[in-house]
Amino acid sequence: MGLVAYLDPALLGPYWSLLHIVMGIWTGGNWKDQQALRRGFLDHYKHVRAAVPENRILEFRSEDGWEPICSFLQQPVPKDVPYPHVNEGVGVVQLHAFLYWIRLAKALGRMATVGAPILVAIAAIWWYLG
């Protein structure tokens, strides 16, 4: 179990457990094996495609914008509303790292009788490494 999941079992414990299971399955237990991760990811998609009827699944790429998703949902395309571009690669990794450090700081702050110095030290480390 990850350090933050150990220190913050109520919130991050379930997330860590799910992440550990999925990544373990997709990589065969070796999270650092990028080729196994890619194979596992693609195998998962094959499984979903086989399990869900073709008329009930949308193969969607966010760069295609509103059209495919609105058509699939039988909804009009929003007018004058640009398609949102969030949760993209590097941004997601940075967000997860930021949330990790925030949760770690909060968990350590709760554990320490003098939480402020610990929070300052963690923030300084996060800033230095970021």
pLDDT, tens digit (0-9, with 9 covering 90-100), for 84-106? 876 667 777 787 788 778 877 77
Cα of first residue to Cα of last residue in the chain, in angstroms, is 23
Q: What is the pTM of this model?
A: 0.51
pLDDT of residue 18: 83
State how far the Cα of 22 lies from the Cα of 36, in Å rounded to an integer.
12
